[in-house]
Structure 1
């Protein structure tokens, strides 16, 4: 759902936040940038918000699959409004603040009106790595995970698993052989990936321009994946995390939240919808705050991540569903070839 809408920070406010971040650094001082050192770091609205059931998500390594699988529907509903977003292994973040063992960061590559540096939230400091080598490798070719999840390995033969990582994880490429790719990690040196689980690009601009069928085909990979409030990984998505990540996989960066996604792209009339267009739904019969986003699948169908009680699905007839009366419009982010 993720529908909050805040105004962008002014330059003066942004400078003030950076000063706060510097002021709150511990002895030895934290750098202003760091890298996510777990498969998917979960960012919270406040530091120290946790239950015992959330422990797997707060460790390093984090076990997001176990965390999600162990939660009941009520456990998942409790997270609503308490989580901000997630950031993937190797994702660069800017440090904004620190309280005890927690750090507030802005996630690069997750656009939001709330902060021009990226989506903000709190996570345990132990889930970050401060890697000069990752920084120096930012202009190298990178491997992008194309499967829902895949494994990093300690050896080229891919027989010694290290950690399971998510769809859309991007790591700098050091070398590759026929069946395996050697990549740089934030805090654990070099590891290996199966060549069949990734695409390799020289830069974001090297990602091929997708067709509308490409967008929908990628979305279909996640049918049955659990909904997770603020989810941004192949372990679980929320509604806007799903649409954001499908487009990001094809080199198109759109806002993180539905409330911002509806403000960008190209407006589309209902009669002109094509596969891959985003459909938005809002309170007060479509005139209020946006509460949901899905992707047009063609033939009046919608593929979407509905809510904490369900999983990613294809809705057969969106115009005769419970969403119909809340329809607020559609946006197109895919330009015609």
Structure 2
């Protein structure tokens, strides 16, 4: 009898262990939560609570990116280097990794990086996210892709009441198409209207037509003169790899977020075989060290790029001083 009691106790222990393990595993899965960006452009920081007073317009809901960028002098923008990670556009999906007070650490889907398989990580204000279940349900019913540098969403079909200015490459669910306007769903504010000439409409992301290199270059030229912004990923401001990433992503091709990783993928291209749309990389130690910059080849020995905090999106000769001696190769992401 004693042996039977022991056996029963052992079996009960194992059953309880399995039950606890299963519950723990289920609980862990429940902690992996997704949400959607509820502002025109969310700015992600390396740590929570790094913001200066002048950064407040970037951390509110709604944001005012125009006021934020306009308020910063060169030194203010330079301070952002190393303090910002990336940005995410209105309606972008993120995975919540960690919470700390009013801040959340998230991974931005489709911004490829080796740092997190869920997407590019960074900290952002919790108030700029929504779980948006109704928005999520609409995602499979049609896609509206903004292809103007910036455009407005309107609260009314007559487009008299401005709701929010959104960026190039913003993607929102399609609700209705009229002659000159399109009705879209937003993460937390219901249906809004947008000018039809500023968007492309697809059944889903897989329906975005395969671009040529010239198509991607033409997208880039629409931003000539736009001021540089470290970590920038929008029509309000780009950094170098944010610019190349976004031009490709808006044309249906997802490439890595950072220049150092962009330089490792795609197909290697010799300089004499360059074609429009190819990405050009520049590295320290006369091109032999760490990659620190990327531009896009446009033909005739020239590139379009977003160089640094002191300037803007522009076209330069590849051999321009400061770049030519640091040329480190090229990659092609088109077949």
Q: Using structure 2 for the length normalisation, give the TM-score.
A: 0.90
- Counterpart CA distance in 2 for 1:106 and 1:273 is 34
- Counterpart CA distance in 2 for 1:230 and 1:175 is 34
- Counterpart secondary structure, 1:196: helix
- Which residue of structure 2 lines up, in the alignment, with residue 327 of structure 1? 327
Query: Deviation of residue 320 (structure 1)?
Result: 4.1
Contact 2:281–2:327, Cα closer than 8 Å, also in 1: yes
Whether 1:105 aligns to 2:106 is: yes
- Counterpart CA distance in 2 for 1:80 and 1:299 is 32
Whether 1:254 aligns to 2:239 is: no
- Which residue of structure 1 lines up, in the alignment, with residue 243 of structure 2? 242
Structure 1 residues not aligned, in runs of 5+? 1-14, 23-30
Whether 1:287 aligns to 2:282 is: no
- Counterpart secondary structure, 2:165: strand
Contact 1:20–1:97, Cα closer than 8 Å, also in 2: no
Query: Deviation of residue 138 (structure 1)?
Result: 2.5
- Which residue of structure 2 lines up, in the alignment, with residue 48 of structure 1? 49
- Counterpart CA distance in 1 for 2:153 and 2:302 is 36
- Counterpart CA distance in 2 for 1:266 and 1:328 is 14
1:175-195 Cα distance to aligned partner (Å, 9 max, x none): 111111111000101111111
- Counterpart secondary structure, 1:319: coil
Distance 1:320 1:166, change over 3 A: closer
- Which residue of structure 1 lines up, in the alignment, with residue 318 of structure 2? 318
- Which residue of structure 2 lines up, in the alignment, with residue 38 of structure 1? 39
Q: Using structure 1 for the length normalisation, give the TM-score.
A: 0.90
1:136-164 Cα distance to aligned partner (Å, 9 max, x none): 12222110001110000001111110010
Please list, as runs of the form range in 1=range in 2, the aligned pairs for 1:84-123 lying within 5 A after superposition.
84-123=85-124
1:38-82 Cα distance to aligned partner (Å, 9 max, x none): 000000000000101101000000011111111001000000000
Query: Deviation of residue 20 (structure 1)?
Result: 11
Q: Which one has more relative contact order, counting CA pairs under 8 Å at least 6 apart?
A: 1
- Counterpart secondary structure, 2:319: helix
- Which residue of structure 2 lines up, in the alignment, with residue 6 of structure 1? none
1:291-319 Cα distance to aligned partner (Å, 9 max, x none): 0000011111110000001000000x212
Contact 2:78–2:309, Cα closer than 8 Å, also in 1: yes
Higher CA-based Rg: 2
Aligned residues: 311
Structure 2 residues not aligned, in runs of 5+? 1-23
- Which residue of structure 1 lines up, in the alignment, with residue 126 of structure 2? 125
- Counterpart CA distance in 2 for 1:124 and 1:266 is 38
Contact 1:21–1:95, Cα closer than 8 Å, also in 2: no
- Counterpart CA distance in 2 for 1:122 and 1:140 is 31
Contact 2:144–2:172, Cα closer than 8 Å, also in 1: yes
Distance 1:269 1:185, change over 3 A: same
Query: Deviation of residue 115 (structure 1)?
Result: 0.6
Show structure 1 runs of 4+ deviating over 6 A: none
- Counterpart CA distance in 2 for 1:21 and 1:61 is 29
Whether 1:224 aligns to 2:238 is: no
- Which residue of structure 2 lines up, in the alignment, with residue 7 of structure 1? none
Identify the range of structure 1 (34-43 vs 202-211) with the bigger mean alpha-carbon deviation.
Answer: 202-211
